[in-house]
Amino acid sequence: MNTVDSGPWRGIGDDHCPLSAALRLLGGKHTTMVMHCLVVGDLHFLELCRALPHVSRKVLTDELRALIAAEIVTRTEEGDALGRVRYGLS
What whole-number distance in Å separates Cα of residue 39 and Cα of residue 31?
A: 13
- Phi (first) and psi of residue 80, to 5 degrees: -90, 175
Q: What is the pLDDT of residue 54?
A: 94
Q: What share of the chain is helix, strand, coil (3-state, %, to 5)?
A: 45, 15, 40
What's the pLDDT score for residue 68? Answer: 93
Q: Pinpoint the alpha helices (H) of 1-90.
A: 18-26, 31-38, 45-51, 57-69
Predicted pLDDT at 89: 92
pLDDT at 12: 57
**Which pLDDT score, from 0 to 100, does residue 45 have?**
93
CA 11 to CA 77: how far, in whole Å? 40
Tell me the pTM. Answer: 0.72
pLDDT tens for each residue of the chain, 90 residues long: 555 555 665 655 566 677 666 667 677 788 889 999 999 999 999 999 999 999 999 999 999 999 999 888 999 998 877 778 999 998
Helix (H) or strand (E) holding 73: strand 73-77
pLDDT at 42: 94
Phi, psi values for residue 72, rounded to 5°: -95, -30
Q: Tell how strand 73-77 and strand 43-44 pair up.
A: unpaired
